[in-house]
Amino acid sequence: MAFGPYLLLATLEGLVTAAVLSLMALGLSLVFGVMRVVNVAHGEFYMLGAVLAWWFSSLIGGHPAVGFMLALVLSPLVVAAIAFVAERLVLSRLKYEPEATIVATIGLLYIIQQLALTFYGPEARPVEAPFTYRISLPWFGYSAYKLAVIGFSILMMLATWFVLTRTKIGLVMRATQFDREMAQAFGIPVGRVYAGVFALGAGLAAVAAVLIVPIQQAHYLMGHDPLLLSFIVVIIGGLGSLRGTVVAAVLIGLSDGIISMFFSPTLAKMLATLIVALVLVFRPQGLFGTAAR
Amino acid sequence: MAAVTPLLVTAGLSRAFGGLRAVDQVDFALPEGETHAIIGPNGAGKTTFVSLICGRVAPSSGSVVFDGREISRMPAHRRVRLGIAYTFQITSVFANLTAFDNVALAVQRRLIDDHARGLSARALTEHGMDALTKVGLAGHAGKIAGTMSYGHQRLLEVAMGLALKPRLLILDEPTQGLSDGEIENFIGLVRQIGAEATVLLIEHNMDVVMALAERITVMEQGRILAQGAPAEIRANKAVQQAYLGG
Amino acid sequence: MTRLTPSAKGIALHVGVVLALLALNFLLPEYHRGVFARVLVLAVFAMGYNLAFGYTGLLSLGHAMFFAAGLYGAGLTIYHLEWSVWPAFAAGLAAGAGLALVVGFLALRTTGVAFMIVTLMFAQVFYLTTLYFTTYTRGEEGLVLPQAARVLGFPGGTLNLSDPSTRYLVALALFTLVLGVILFVVRAPFGRSLIAIRENDERMRMLGYNVFANKLASVVLSGIVCAASGAAYAVLFGYVGSGFAAIQYSILPLLWVLVGGAATTLGPLIGTLFMFYVIDTASSYTTAHLLVVGLVLIGVILFFPKGIAGTVRERWLPWLP
């Protein structure tokens, strides 16, 4: 294959990564933006979403699209419910103290991971794509499903944006983010808003996971790398900024796709992680954020 | 008295936050030994101005000269070692440590620099208790700072400043939240301190200002509106309009 | 409540603990003596972590890199350059110190959550580096150091570090040395400054302290102690692998310190020992030991935030250092 088509393929693959990554990072960013806590277990919610997607889709026979649709609806709901309960039982009792929350979500990470290993097992299992149509380009064929993933992610991002900026729920969330005590004084049930945001964040990770399982298989350790990538996206995009998150996800997704085609993946990860760490050191407000103080 | 070089001089000192000029081209001189009060309405830039002097905030432009040295780019901790001590507007003691340990931290830092005497447990106790005695807290040395009354925490805050043996002590609204009786004691305390050190005082309570200040600076919107002896300030029409409310 | 004044009782307690550990070498059955030797070495890791996290208030999620720097510094020089144990151990310490200096210098420009993420990322880079140079490190599979190389030379003779009793005593010697150093440091003006910086760093700055330099010194000392633990692990147990640089080994010392009691001198030992036996006991009923780690983490942070030694100090023994 010539260089041009090769680059096109890398770009398409990068866009798929970016699409899934932006959904997942958006969840992390929402939780950080509104609650001011870092959810280290975010990657496990993603993994849980994938594992549940396999389980739901294997429940019923028939056309793979039926099982997939079932998973796409139910898996995020179940994950969100689990996150809601975890928030009420643990995080709310820690008063959202940042460091205690980090420790607690690390605990949550281990618990979810272990439960997945025990009940789902160490195998990697695929979910069949809802359709297998391949678009033939002049140089290579490309999975239509992957393009659909990109499209669906964009729809989800738009929906989230709409909810955040144009609805009462979004207003309540932004009020809580802006000034927690003031929101409380105005009768906003801050505790429930936090639990809702935490559940929504986990749910978004699960949606991302359901979209990815027809491409990558479900595995109990699959949450680790996306968690780090989401951290990177959220940091580069500026903590709590929706637009920055999307831009950064595209940037990271594309460069991940392209770099890993030309370099060893380990070296690519090494350099990317190092660069992001240095960005955080020297530009803590992110590349697109404005100075906080 | 006029012939001596002032201890502290600022020239064209400015600081902007975004578009807001919190401190705007302030020229200010403070002779050694003076007790000087800065007054002005809320948001006049008083705290920002003293923060520029002690280094908590970096200036946008202008200079700060302390004892003949240009210090406007010097980090805060080094200015403290030159002899500029700042007591916080919002009480900022180490709540989990005893009153003595709070003061001891200040003494320890000074003794590390004092090569002639050096840091010893005895010197630490002696100087620490000395500072506590000055503010009248010697009897509370073993108390956990967080459990002390608000008035005592304010005094502890001052004791930490004193323990640094500063040449310039900056007190940021020290009497805020104190009872009348406590304020009475406090005036006496600052008089004592003023006998040894130069004192720069931000204060809202005009009785305290009039009782203590040898000279007064009135700030408004980041600038100096008027400056002079208490009687002059009291007589100043502009000040009356802007601040004293006529 | 934190006391800064020294006490004779504290010293006596620590001497007692060390003597008891010495006696255990002759009393413990073989299996438990092996566990204890490992715990002693890893407790040193926890003590190093405690210096940064407990005393200075720096929540790092990257201390595995300092442990692994010591581990690889000693292991690689022994394996590839055939250095003897003393210089290899020194190389481990130097690697830890150098890494801590660079990482501290960069990471300390951030605070709080950003500090945690930055340390996590630097550690991840270190971990990936050990995988990338798999020709030399053999990655996850790791290197086994030859027994012949694990011999500690003295002017009067040699000590065979693969012998269980020698291994236990050498581990105890390192533990005792580090415990002494930590006990000294936290009572010294430097240690008092660190605690005060943890409590209120802005106030410390306005008392004339160079907060950044103090924090950096704390990170470097912490890094050296963790590297000492890693280097000792390499020479005592003869295995060096990437697994020790992974994120898990950054979280374990946090767990040990939290369980034992942050900012207490004996907490790291108590926490490490406790968690080793909790997991050991749990393993005989279930293979799900990660579940235990997770539940203990959440349980401690919810109901027992001061840890074992911290709670004992709060309720009964206020003089406990």
pLDDT computed for residue B132 by the predictor: 93
The shortest C-alpha distance from B84 to chain C (Å) reads 9
**C205 in contact with A at a CB cutoff of 8 Å?**
no
Helix axis angle, C267-285 relative to C248-260, nearest 10°? 110
A54 vs A218: CA distance, rounded Å: 7
The shortest C-alpha distance from C128 to chain A (Å) reads 6
Q: What count of residues does chain C have?
A: 321
pLDDT, average across residues A219-237: 86
**Contact flag A228-C122 (C-beta cutoff 8 Å):** no
Q: Which residue of B has its CA nearest to C200?
A: B94
C256 vs C49: CA distance, rounded Å: 10
Count Cβ atoms below 10 Å from residue B29 Cβ, excluding itself: 15
Do residues B12 and B27 touch, judged by C-beta distance below 8 A? yes
Q: What backbone torsions phi and psi does residue C110 show, to the nearest 5 degrees? A: -110, 165
Single out the residue of B139, B136, B209 nearest to residue B171, CA to CA.
Answer: B209
pLDDT, average across residues A141-168: 89
Tokens, residue A15: 């866009």
Q: Find chain C residues with C-beta within 8 A of A96's C-beta.
A: none
Q: Closest partner residue to C294 among A114, A228, A270, by Cβ?
A: A114
Do residues A284 and A293 touch, judged by C-beta distance below 8 A? no
Single out the residue of C216, C221, C225 nearest to residue C177, CA to CA.
Answer: C225
Q: What is the mean pLDDT of chain B?
A: 88
- In order of B100, B175, B191, C51, the CA distances from B204 in angstroms are 30, 9, 18, 43
Q: Which residue has the tokens 């100087």?
A: B127
- In order of A101, A188, A205, C37, C286, the CA distances from A176 in angstroms are 18, 8, 22, 51, 43
Specify which residues B216 forms β-bridges with: B37, B228
Count how many pairs of residues, chain B against chain C, have C-beta atoms within 8 Å: 69
The shortest C-alpha distance from A67 to chain C (Å) reads 31
pLDDT value at A170 more than 90: no
Q: Closest partner residue to B94 among C189, C203, C205, by Cβ?
A: C203
pLDDT, average across residues B228-238: 87
Least confident of A69-73, B69-73, B174-178, B224-228: B174-178
pLDDT value at B150 more than 80: yes
Helix axis angle, A224-237 relative to A42-59, nearest 10°? 130
Least confident of A62-66, A220-224, B65-69, C33-37: A62-66
Q: Closest partner residue to C189 among B86, B94, B108, by Cβ?
A: B108
Q: Specify the amino acid at residue C66.
A: F
Task: Give me the sign of the Cα torsion angle C70, C71, C72, C74.
Answer: positive
**Contact flag A111-C298 (C-beta cutoff 8 Å):** yes
Instruction: Please tell me which chains touch C, using 3 or more CB pairs under 8 Å as the contact test.
Output: A, B
pLDDT computed for residue A44 by the predictor: 95
| Three-state secondary structure of chain B | CCCCCCCEEEEEEEEEECCEEEEEEEEEEECCCCEEEEECCCCCCHHHHHHHHHCCCCCCEEEEEECCEECCCCCHHHHHHHCEEEECCCCCCCCCCEHHHHHHHHHHHHHHHCCCCCCCHHHHHHHHHHHHHHHCCHHHCCCEHHHCCHHHHHHHHHHHHHHCCCCEEEEECCCCCCCHHHHHHHHHHHHHHHHHCEEEEECCCHHHHHHHCCEEEEEECCEEEEEECHHHHHHCHHHHHHHHCC
C54 vs C47: CA distance, rounded Å: 9
Cα angle value C178/C185/C11 (rounded, 5°): 70
Q: Find chain B residues with C-beta within 8 A of C203's C-beta.
A: 88, 92-94
Domain layout of chain A by residue ranges? 18-222
C131 vs C140: CA distance, rounded Å: 7
Q: In the 8-state DSSP scheme, what is residue C51? A: I
Q: Which residue of C has its CA nearest to A224?
A: C247
Q: Which residue has the higher pLDDT, B94 or B121?
A: B94
Tokens, residue A274: 């190092």
Task: Give me the sign of the Cα torsion angle B17, B20, B21, B23.
Answer: negative
pLDDT value at B107 more than 50: yes
Find the Cα–Cα–Cα–Cα dihedral A74, A78, A83, A84, rounded to 10°.
Answer: 100
Q: Closest partner residue to A108 among C59, C120, C298, by Cβ?
A: C298
Count how many pairs of residues, chain A against chain C, have C-beta atoms within 8 Å: 109
| ipTM of the complex, rounded to two decimals | 0.88
pLDDT computed for residue A1 by the predictor: 62
Question: What is the full per-residue pLDDT of chain C (321 aa) written as tens digits?
Answer: 344 445 788 888 999 999 999 999 999 998 999 999 999 999 999 999 999 999 999 999 999 999 999 999 999 999 999 899 899 999 999 999 999 999 999 999 988 778 988 999 999 999 999 999 988 989 888 898 888 888 888 887 888 888 889 999 999 999 999 999 999 998 888 999 999 999 999 999 999 999 999 999 999 999 999 999 999 999 999 999 999 999 889 999 998 999 899 899 999 999 999 988 888 887 777 667 788 888 888 988 888 888 888 888 888 887 777
Q: Each residue of A35-94: pLDDT tens digit?
A: 888 899 999 999 999 999 999 988 887 788 888 999 999 999 999 999 999 999 999 998
What is the rounded end-to-end Cα distance, in angstroms, of chain B? 33
